[in-house]
Structure 1
Amino acid sequence: DDSRPILTGVYMVAEEKGFRLVATDSYRLAVRDMPGSSLLAGQPPILVPSRALTELARLLEKDSEVSLYLGEKEASFEINNIRMTTRLIEGEFPDYKRLVPDDNPNKLTANRAELRDAVKRVRLLAQEATPIRLEMGMNGLQLIAKTQDIGEAHETVDANYNGDDLTIAFNAEYLLKGLEIAPGDDITLETRDNQKPAVLKSDEHPEFLYLLMPVRIS
């Protein structure tokens, strides 16, 4: 949303064992820790335009090293003898730690690729604004999309679920994006109820977190 510049950037902040990347559009939030990196050691947090980091990602190769040079209002990234400079976004980034729940009691674990592909299939039959419902219980996971013109699309996904029976709905595109960018083979969806933020986590990569807000359903 270009009308809210703060939300067009990626927040980069030094952590005790590396640094952290955070981005949000107010409907979802992604966090990725980079342990072992000293890119921001001793530096204040910065807010980098997401477009600049997208360009930087195109230059990255496996095991590439990135150097960061900070000015008062700009940052330069150097990789493979190429330097890219971008103006930093000014303003205060949202207190993202307050948004991330740490006690969601309901946990569903599934194969990431199987869940991703099931969401894709259900989404094909859903209209653009139609949310996907997740029905979680003792029998695992059911994905459902309802439309007036086509009817209902159902998918059963093999999953392990611990928690109270729960039906929760998400924007299909936002859910799919989280499943696509998550690392590892298995993914865990942590929820409290159908109104509070849900969190996607990778069992094999604890440095990854993807929060998304549910959609209200009748």
Structure 2
Amino acid sequence: MKFIVSSTALLSHLQAISRVINSKNSMAILDNFLFRLEGNKLTMTASDQETTMVTDLEVIEAEGDGLFAVSAKILLEPLKELPDQPLTFEINDENLEIFLYFQNGKYNFIGVNGEEYPQKQPLSSDAKTFTISSQILLNGINRTIFATADDELRPIMNGICIDIHPEDIVFVASDSHKLVRCKNDAVHAGLTASFILPKKPANLLKSILPKESGDVTITFDDKNACFTLSNFILNCRLIEGRYPNYASVIPQNNPNRLIVDRAQFMNVLRRVSVFSNQASNLVKLQLQDNQMQVSAQDIDFSTSAEETVSCNYTGDAMGIGFKSTYLIEILNNISSQEVSIELSDPSRAGLILPIENQPNEDLLMLLMPMMLTDF
């Protein structure tokens, strides 16, 4: 078996799928890329058993067909240092000895029998399918992934819930302190279903979707999902279980409303939070008469800070506490110049909403308050 391929094209495809490979694998063969040569098409696969990513490219020249696996480390590290040029692979079909020839030299290593590589899980016959714009999928993941949990006891909270309705699609993530709901009514899937996408495949999609254009076809059943893009196919095991009823935790009547410049508010929080207790990161917002006083203190070290921010506030005078790191994280994941913060009382969750939403998008972020015991 022999083929010639562009070093740059090969490297870009391998780097994209290499993120699937774990640093420690339960099976030695999972440290490898799987290559399949059929005619002039070279298909490359990386897997960790739970998540499998496949991509293919046209080779310049090919002789024979075959299947073999190559250590990801042996192949990737040298390729990163090579300038763009044609690479010639010659594989001995009997013992899988591989010679890789390039402009100024050659590499020689032994491949692994590709038949040992684990196969991806097939989807059931009643799997559901819909298409979504790659940009909408990317936005949904980008808006929500930071709010996913790392909870071994409640694994359903460790992924993004994708809730599909005939008239829209909703991306939801929560770690029980903060919640993000991103609704887009430009997607008309024509079905009602939901699944929980784990964090790892969500991050893989986040890395490859910016290079994509057009639609993504998503096929899923109770246990697995397949994302078909123009250059990649991603198969992953889903998080099994029922996602909590997120709509029930969103407070409906919030008479106190604050509109503030997002960047200015975020900068004030960053400065003031330096003086907060390092364990709690508690900051207090005191709201009244179109101004907000942001304060923090650490009694143990006798430090405190307060700054006043001008804003548009309607409602009763009130003080409420939030964990500054969560509040900054939420503001950092909103692109609108101004944000609206809706509150009912100091013990109930606050809603943080962009004043200007993206087209067809409805973004809502929720943050649980903290007790103001130190103030």
Alignment of 1:185 with 2:337, yes or no, is: yes
Deviation at 1:139, TM superposition (A): 4.4
Identity of aligned residues (%): 28
- Counterpart residue type for residue 191 of structure 1: L
How much is the aligned-residue C-alpha RMSD, in angstroms?
A: 1.7
Q: Distance in 2 between matches of 1:195 and 1:6?
A: 26
- Counterpart residue type for residue 112 of structure 1: R
- Counterpart residue type for residue 51 of structure 1: K
Q: Distance in 1 between matches of 2:248 and 2:337?
A: 28
Alignment of 1:17 with 2:172, yes or no, is: no
How many residue pairs match? The answer is 217
Q: Please, which runs of 5 or more residues in structure 1 have no aligned partner?
A: none
Closer, same or farther in 2 for the Cα pair 1:63/1:106, shift >3 Å?
farther
- Counterpart residue type for residue 32 of structure 1: C
Q: Distance in 2 between matches of 1:60 and 1:19?
A: 18
- 1:61 equivalent among 210, 228, 231: 210
- Where does 1:1-218 land on structure 2 (aligned, <5 Å)? 1-38=151-188, 40-61=189-210, 64=213, 65-128=215-278, 129-148=280-299, 149-205=301-357, 207-218=362-373
- Counterpart residue type for residue 186 of structure 1: E
- Counterpart residue type for residue 326 of structure 2: Y
Q: Distance in 2 between matches of 1:27 and 1:131?
A: 13
Deviations 1:45-91 (A, max 9, x none): 11111232122111122773322121341111223411111111111
Deviation at 1:43, TM superposition (A): 4.7
Q: Which has the higher contact order (CA 8 A, sep 6+)?
A: 1
Deviations 1:97-140 (A, max 9, x none): 11001111000000111111111111223233230100110141
Segment drifting more, 147-156 vs 194-203: 147-156
Which secondary structure does the structure 2 equivalent of 1:102 belong to?
A: coil
Closer, same or farther in 2 for the Cα pair 1:114/1:17, shift >3 Å?
farther
Q: Please, which runs of 5 or more residues in structure 2 have no aligned partner?
A: 1-150
Closer, same or farther in 2 for the Cα pair 1:173/1:137, shift >3 Å?
same
Q: Distance in 1 between matches of 2:268 and 2:165?
A: 36
Q: Distance in 1 between matches of 2:368 and 2:354?
A: 18
Is contact 1:130–1:146 with CA below 8 Å preserved after alignment? Answer: no
Between structures 1 and 2, the one with greater helix share = 2
Is contact 2:166–2:191 with CA below 8 Å preserved after alignment? Answer: no
Larger Rg belongs to: 2
